[in-house]
């Protein structure tokens, strides 16, 4: 069987390669031979995730034609890539991209570091903010008042408290998506929701299409469930979803599920437009793929003039293609551990059974607290505080980076909690390693890729502002100088850098 999971056409690859030529060459760079330049271009595309790992490349003759170079040049470039471990070939199956076995992939198990262990270290690993007080305290007090009738029950609600299910359903209905309580399951965070979905749909060997890059912990959860990840490269900038690519992958790989974060995508901050949403749902339906839309970031628009598109499930009136996941973690507080799923009632019943052996249910008191927030309007006020914090932090971080690291490139997202930064040709893994020396925890790009892509990136969250943001950027610049000067660390990126 062929080892590739998607295919890259000659015209498409030529377009990507030509777009690289706009990038400035480093100082004193000499022009390499044509085959070397081509091999380097393809290698960079793989490392940046713009060409997925395990993507079949066009035949030599086709690529030569598309690039107007000789076939010998392409053959020599492919040969160089094979020698370096970036390409595998088999007679009859073609050639597909890979990453070398020794590529410095960051450790995959991500261990949370408790805040009290940080000391003077600035932690840019977690895209989570402190609770928007006084709303956490008020919500817990409200929950305590509601608790007595529940204290007389067994307390096991595997699908969630009926009151909270009804409230979440009503909130979808108010967004224009008619929803019944039977279509909602309350989960232990969005992670709990995706875990149950993976149990039900994406067991061992199943293909799962994911944006590349995507949220690190979900990728890891899926890997551990035994799924085969099929990366679909995000387009440059904040436009995000290249629909030709999605249609091709869904058609060619026919994955069991596709996982997307259409609202302020983690890590890029991209926001899908109505058309992209409609096309994603249509392509998934045609391929028989379940489209999982993660709305964890949905309420975090940071600029007032952002027009929020219709929810992805709004383009699936039959309700048979899209499963929606939501969470209180980013809009309110990650310590709450409340998430939910919206799906067809029969899917919810199966998901309830699928989650039963993991955690049986979600804590009642926290469910009551979120229900209190939703029913009193406290939620809206709390989310306003959250948006103001995140906006202020985003603007401080962007300013500090432009001052301290003017060569680094990024697009400023209109919402979400993360900035996806191209590090001016420096290795993100080495930056993370040197960051540890200067008191900064920063996750490298490859944590957000499938199989080693995005070495030239880091992800920075909107979690620090003012003088701390300035200091964080100064430490990043210090780490960059250590990398440029070739200081060796030895240990690699700490597996303890927690990514959320």
Our CB check for ligand PLP shows the closer of 189 and 309 to be 189
Strands 122-123 and 440-441: what pairing?
Answer: parallel
The strand pairing partners of 66, in sequence order, are: none
Q: Total number of residues binding ligand PLP (CB under 6 A)?
A: 16
Burial class (CB in 10 A: 0-12, 13-18, 19+), 440: buried
If binding is defined by CB under 6 A, does position 127 make contact with ligand PLP?
Answer: yes
The DSSP secondary structure of 124-168, one letter per residue, reads: -S-------TTHHHHHHHHHHHH-HHHHTS----TT--HHHHHHH
Name the residue among 269, 496, 214, 251 with its Cα closest to residue 397: 269
Q: What is the 3-state secondary structure (H, E, C) of 191-210?
A: HHHHHHHHHHHCCCCCEEEE
Q: Least CB distance from residue 328 to ligand PLP, whole Å?
A: 7
Q: Least CB distance from residue 373 to ligand PLP, whole Å?
A: 15
If you ran DSSP here, which 8-state letter would residue 29 be given? P
Interface with ligand PLP in residues 185-244 (CB under 6 A): 189-191, 215, 218
Distances (CA, A) of 388 to 72, 132, 393: 57, 10, 9
Our CB check for ligand PLP shows the closer of 181 and 213 to be 213
If you ran DSSP here, which 8-state letter would residue 68 be given? T
Output the six-digit token pair for 343.
Answer: 């799906």
Output the six-digit token pair for 263.
Answer: 């609202």
Number of neighbours of residue 213 by Cβ within 10 angstroms: 27
Our CB check for ligand PLP shows the closer of 297 and 364 to be 297
Our CB check for ligand PLP shows the closer of 77 and 292 to be 292
Number of neighbours of residue 212 by Cβ within 10 angstroms: 25
Q: Give the residue nearest to ligand PLP (CB).
A: 189
Interface with ligand PLP in residues 429-468 (CB under 6 A): none
Q: At what angle do helices 345-359 and 189-201 cross, to 10 degrees?
A: 110
Q: Least CB distance from residue 329 to ligand PLP, whole Å?
A: 3
H or E segment to which residue 460 belongs: strand 457-461
Strand spans (E) along 277-365? 290-294, 322-327, 338-342
Our CB check for ligand PLP shows the closer of 142 and 339 to be 339
Interface with ligand PLP in residues 41-70 (CB under 6 A): none
If binding is defined by CB under 6 A, does position 16 make contact with ligand PLP?
Answer: no
Our CB check for ligand PLP shows the closer of 189 and 445 to be 189
Selected from 77, 334, 364, 450, the binder of ligand PLP by CB under 6 A is: 334
Interface with ligand PLP in residues 342-381 (CB under 6 A): none
Our CB check for ligand PLP shows the closer of 67 and 184 to be 184
Output the six-digit token pair for 24.
Answer: 């400035």
If binding is defined by CB under 6 A, does position 179 make contact with ligand PLP?
Answer: no
Q: How far apart are CA 332 and CA 124, in angstroms?
A: 19
Span near ligand PLP by CB under 6 A; candidates 8-16, 106-114, 135-143, 326-334? 326-334
If binding is defined by CB under 6 A, does position 329 make contact with ligand PLP?
Answer: yes
Q: Least CB distance from residue 297 to ligand PLP, whole Å?
A: 6
The pattern of x and - marking residues 277 through 316 that bind ligand PLP according to CB under 6 A reads -----------------x-xx-------------------
Interface with ligand PLP in residues 262-281 (CB under 6 A): 266
Number of neighbours of residue 235 by Cβ within 10 angstroms: 15
Q: Least CB distance from residue 85 to ligand PLP, whole Å?
A: 31
**Which parts of this chain interact with ligand PLP (CB under 6 A)?**
127, 189-191, 215, 218, 261, 266, 294, 296-297, 327, 329, 334, 339, 500
């Amino acid at each position: 069987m062929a080892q590739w999971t998607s295919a890259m056409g000659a015209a498409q690859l030529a377009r990507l390669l030509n777009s690289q030529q706009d990038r400035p060459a480093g100082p004193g760079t000499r022009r390499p031979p044509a085959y070397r330049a081509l091999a380097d271009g393809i290698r960079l595309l793989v490392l940046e995730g713009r060409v997925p790992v395990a993507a079949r490349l066009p035949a030599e003759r086709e690529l030569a034609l598309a690039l107007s170079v000789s076939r010998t040049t392409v053959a020599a470039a492919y040969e160089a890539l094979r020698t370096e471990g970036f390409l595998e070939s088999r007679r009859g199956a073609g050639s597909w991209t890979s990453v070398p076995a020794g590529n410095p992939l960051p450790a995959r198990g991500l261990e949370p570091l408790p805040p009290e262990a940080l000391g003077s270290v600035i932690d840019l690993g977690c895209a989570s903010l402190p609770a928007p007080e006084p709303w956490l305290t008020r919500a817990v007090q409200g929950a305590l008042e509601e608790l007595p009738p529940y204290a007389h029950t067994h307390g096991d609600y595997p699908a969630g408290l009926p009151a909270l299910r009804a409230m979440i359903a009503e909130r979808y209905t108010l967004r224009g998506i008619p929803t019944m309580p039977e279509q909602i399951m309350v989960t232990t965070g969005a992670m709990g929701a995706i875990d149950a979905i993976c149990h039900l749909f994406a067991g061992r060997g199943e293909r799962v299409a994911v944006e590349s890059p995507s949220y690190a912990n979900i990728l890891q959860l899926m890997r551990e469930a035994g799924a085969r990840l099929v990366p679909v490269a995000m387009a440059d900038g904040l436009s995000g979803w290249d629909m030709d690519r999605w249609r091709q992958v869904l058609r060619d790989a026919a994955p069991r599920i596709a996982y997307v974060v259409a609202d302020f995508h983690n890590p890029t901050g991209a926001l899908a437009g109505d058309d992209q949403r409609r096309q994603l749902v249509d392509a998934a339906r045609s391929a028989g793929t379940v489209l999982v839309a993660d709305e964890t970031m949905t309420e975090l628009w940071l600029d007032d003039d952002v027009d929020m598109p219709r929810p992805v499930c709004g383009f699936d009136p039959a309700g048979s293609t899209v499963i929606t996941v939501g969470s209180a973690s980013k809009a309110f507080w990650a310590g709450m551990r409340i998430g939910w799923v919206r799906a067809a009632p029969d899917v919810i019943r199966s998901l309830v059974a699928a989650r039963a052996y993991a955690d049986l249910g979600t804590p009642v008191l926290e469910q009551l607290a979120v229900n209190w927030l939703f029913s009193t309007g406290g939620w809206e006020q709390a989310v306003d505080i959250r948006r103001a914090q995140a906006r202020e932090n985003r603007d401080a971080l962007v300013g500090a980076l432009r001052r301290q690291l003017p060569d680094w490139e990024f697009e400023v997202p209109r919402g979400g909690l993360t900035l996806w930064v191209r590090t001016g040709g420096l290795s993100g893994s080495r930056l993370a390693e040197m960051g540890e020396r200067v008191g900064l925890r920063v996750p490298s790009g490859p944590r957000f890729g499938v199989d080693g892509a995005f070495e030239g990136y880091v992800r920075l969250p909107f979690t620090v502002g003012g003088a701390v943001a300035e200091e964080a950027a100064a430490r990043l610049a210090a780490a960059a100088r250590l990398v440029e000067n070739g200081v060796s660390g030895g240990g690699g990126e700490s597996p303890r850098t927690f990514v959320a």
